[in-house]
Amino acid sequence: MSGYEKKRRTIVHFGTDRVVLLLRAWNLNEMGYRVLNVSDAVEAVKLATRRRVDAVVLDLDRNHAEVALVATAIKRCRPQVPTILLAEETALLQRAHELADALVPKRDDLGMLITALENLLATRIAQPPKMLP
């Protein structure tokens, strides 16, 4: 079954490298996801907490503190929304488990991100996300 034959899931994709955001969004769109790219931390939190989204992908690039703040704010407001952290450094991945539901090394192919998304979304089907007032 292709990504277009199932319900299109909406993903907030946060990172500061616009080229990487566009490339990953294109790939995720091809897999059937609707991707909302955002490179501003405040806007990322607004999108993830005020709109119905199925998951959040946080690209841990240059500004680690900003990504941590975004992840913390989203988890505080919408803890049921799956969050995936993409990082280059394995040391950051090991201590980032408190910020995200899944951790994916950037060096892995897109398939690892898709697998993490599908696994997290499958576990959330029984409990659909609730919007906070």
**pLDDT value for 133:** 46
Cα gap 112→98, rounded to integer Å? 20
CATH number of the 3-124 domain:
3.40.50.2300
**pLDDT value for 65:** 76
Instruction: For residue 97, count other CB atoms closer than 10 A to its CB.
Output: 11
Looking at per-residue pLDDT, the higher value among 9 and 127 belongs to 9
pLDDT, tens digit, for every residue of 1-58? 444 445 789 999 998 888 888 999 999 999 999 999 999 989 999 999 999 999 999 9
- In three-state form (DSSP H/G/I as H, E/B as E, the rest C), the secondary structure along 59-74 is EECCCHHHHHHHHHHH
**pLDDT value for 89:** 66
Pairing of strands 83-87, 10-14: unpaired
Give the confidence band of 62 by pLDDT, cuts at 50, 70, 90.
low
